[in-house]
Amino acid sequence: MTTIVLASGSPRREDLLRALGLRFEVLPVDIDESPFDGEAAEPLVQRLSQSKAATALRLRGDDGALVVAADTVVVLDGVVLGKPADGAENRAFLSRLSGRAHHVLTGHTLVRDGQRETVVVDTEVRMRALDSGEIERYVASGEGLDKAGGYAIQGRGSALVERVDGCYFNVVGLSVATVVEAAARLGVRLV
C-alpha cells in the first residue's frame, strides 16, 4: 500500500481524508503564503499548493509516497481575502461578504514518484445578509481567525451561508473528489 502524506496542519483536511477511511501521515509545512504583487487567485493557490508539496518532499524525501497538499483562498470582486490578522479584519471581511456571492478557490497538488497533478477547484458561495450583531457574535467566537475569508462553513459559519454552488468540501479546504481523481491519475486508488 502506498504511504499517503498530508502536507498540511489543517484539522479540517485531516477530517476529510479520515472520512474516506484512509491512514496517512500528517506533515505540516511552513511556507510564505504571501501573494506576489498582482498575482491572481488561481495562480496563487496553484503556486502555494505546489510549494507545500515540494517542501514536504524535501522534508521527508521522495520514497514513492503520495503527497497531498492544498491551499484555499476566498475571492470577492477579484480581491483575495486570506486569513484575517485579527478580529477587526475578520469583522471587515464578514461585512464585505454579507449578502453577496464570493468564490472559494483551492489549489490541490498531489505528487508521487516525480509525477505531479495540480488542480484548482472554484466554488461559489453566497452569504446571507448579516446584521452587525451577528457579525460581532461570530467574530467574538474566534472561529474565523484562522480561516480564509474569516469564516468556517463546517462550523458556526454554516449559519452565515445561504447557498453553495459547487463542491462543498472545497469550501472546507479540500475537494475530496478532486483528490481521489488526481490520485488515480498517479496510480493510487483511494476509494
User: How far is 149 from 72, CA to CA, in rounded Å?
Assistant: 10
Q: Is 71 a known active-site residue?
A: yes
DSSP secondary structure letter of residue 29: -
- Collect all residues with Cβ–Cβ distance below 8 Å to 115 and sequence separation of at least 6: 186
User: How far is 118 from 50, CA to CA, in rounded Å?
Assistant: 7
21 C-beta neighbours (distance < 10 Å), count: 8
User: How far is 167 from 177, CA to CA, in rounded Å?
Assistant: 9
Say which of 71, 86, 113, 131 is annotated catalytic. 71
> 3-state DSSP: the chain helix, strand, coil percent, rounded to 5?
40, 25, 35
Name the residues annotated as catalytic: 71
